Structure 1
Amino acid sequence: MASKDESTPNNKVSKSRGNKRHASGSPSPTSSPSPLDKKEDMRSIIQEIIKAEFNDMLTQFNKNLISTMNNELETVNAEMKEMVKSMQFINKQFEDFERNQKISDETIHKLQLENSELKTTVANLSQRINNLEQQSRSNNIEVQCMPETKNENIYTIVKQLGKVVKCDIQEKDILNCSRIAKTNSSSTRPKSIVVQLASPRLRDQLLASVIKYNQNNQDNKLHCGHLGFAGKKSPVYVVEHLSPTNKALHAATRIKAKEMNYKYVWVRNSKIFTRKTDGAEYILIKNMSSLSKMV
């Protein structure tokens, strides 16, 4: 009888296989990831998430930036358009101003020419009027600084003047004589006597006789006592009867002569002359601008 294998506790054959040996050349079995690998994977995932979030944020920022810039640029463009309009308006205004200024300059230049012509015309007319006024006085003399009395007889004074200076003056030679109003009302000088004689020749003879008398009587020049005045013997001057213009010019010449130390100022045939010293050339004073020659 065949004997059966008897299973005994000590002789049990384990049905489970032990650890198999890794065959040479066969692929290695998958090993469990290490903690380091897990950390690296987690870092990569976080980086990807951050990168994605950053990209989203950057995209959104760019969108916002572009939108803001577009809005600002629209505002700037609008302002630039307004500035361009303003500049165009200002430029037009400037062109209008420049055009008006040019017209004004032309008008001013024209007015200046007209004014210059008018000044020349007025000066010529004034000179002609002055010449006519002076010509109307060609027979006249002016007796200055003769004291006034209440019941004076001017004809007698004039005839006495002729006698004193030895110039024969008949009553018929005196066409008119009277005192004239003062040029300066505040002056204390007596009113001048204007005498209209029969002719310019007689006037010149009387003036020459007065000059000669004063030259011959240096210590007793013509004064009011010679002409019948009993008071203080104040000097009396006999001069040509000048027109208002010439009289003002004569006064200005005397003032300038005093300032510039000119020795002589005189009038002959209604013309005003001045001389600085005895040997110097005389200067003819035709108008106010001629005073600049007195240096």
Structure 2
Amino acid sequence: MSKISALEIKCSENRALIQHLEQNIESLQRSYLKATIDFRNIPAKKGKESTSDLIFIVTHTGTALNLEINPSDVRDVYRLPNKSGSSGIIVAEFTSVLLKNDVLQAARSSNSKRPIDEKLNSTHIGIEGKKQPIFVSEYLNLTTRKNFAQARQFPKDNHYKYYWSTNARIFLRKDDSSKQILIKTEKCLNDLIN
């Protein structure tokens, strides 16, 4: 029994260490991706799509948002593999966090001023064919994206008013007068329920 008890304690310590290491990795990934944005729902070019094609999309999205983005402002750009029938996400890493924030702010501002059918879409960036809405958001790694999906549902189920992501960190706020709550893991959401 004492041996089992010792193993249970060791297992619990290992779980805590693993969780700590996962949080450190998450923090490093956030830091590495802090100047990165994703562009969703942009149709892929037929045939082979080059980096130049993707830079064209990013710079013309900037033009559609009344924001100058030069090719030299883009450190890296690529399209993630997609599920069949959907356009893969275009991930663009900018040379500065300030430019990333400017692009996000310009997209929010532009879309808030336009009617629903004229929000940022594929025709604004010169892509022919059916008009498709374009979504511009901060790039989140897989773990953070999963937590954000849960955080989006949480206010509906638990009477919270706000949820948002900034600098790859997720926040909730119960109402206008309450403090913002940083959501690091799924456990944070479970603790709020309890």
Task: Please tell me the TM-score bracket, short chain as reference.
Answer: 0.7 to 0.9
Where does 1:1-295 land on structure 2 (aligned, <5 Å)?
105-150=1-46, 153-182=53-82, 185=83, 188-219=85-116, 220-260=118-158, 264-275=162-173, 279=176, 281=178, 282-292=180-190, 293=192
Q: Secondary structure at the match of 1:239?
A: strand
Q: CA deviation at 1:253?
A: 1.9
Counterpart of 1:174, as a letter, is: V
Bigger Rg, structure 1 or 2:
1
Structure 1, unaligned runs of 5 or more: 1-104
Counterpart of 1:198, as a letter, is: T
Q: CA deviation at 1:174?
A: 1.1
**Larger RCO (alpha carbons 8 Å, 6+ apart):** 2
Alpha carbons 1:155, 1:177 under 8 Å: kept? yes
Return the structure number with greater strand share.
Answer: 2
Distance in 2 of aligned mates of 1:259 and 1:145: 28
Q: CA deviation at 1:244?
A: 1.6
Relative to structure 1, is the Cα distance of residues 233 and 276 closer, same or farther in structure 2, using a 3 angstrom cutoff? farther
Relative to structure 1, is the Cα distance of residues 251 and 197 closer, same or farther in structure 2, using a 3 angstrom cutoff? same
Distance in 2 of aligned mates of 1:111 and 1:196: 45
Distance in 2 of aligned mates of 1:229 and 1:256: 36
Q: CA deviation at 1:125?
A: 0.6
TM-score (ref. length: structure 2): 0.85
Distance in 1 of aligned mates of 2:54 and 2:145: 23
Q: How many residues align?
A: 187
Distance in 1 of aligned mates of 2:187 and 2:174: 18
Structure 2, unaligned runs of 5 or more: none
Q: CA deviation at 1:290?
A: 1.8
Q: CA deviation at 1:259?
A: 4.1
Distance in 2 of aligned mates of 1:275 and 1:214: 24
Relative to structure 1, is the Cα distance of residues 272 and 236 closer, same or farther in structure 2, using a 3 angstrom cutoff? same
Alpha carbons 1:162, 1:206 under 8 Å: kept? yes
Counterpart of 1:129, as a letter, is: I
Alpha carbons 2:30, 2:167 under 8 Å: kept? no
Q: Secondary structure at the match of 1:134?
A: helix
Return the structure number with greater helix share.
Answer: 1
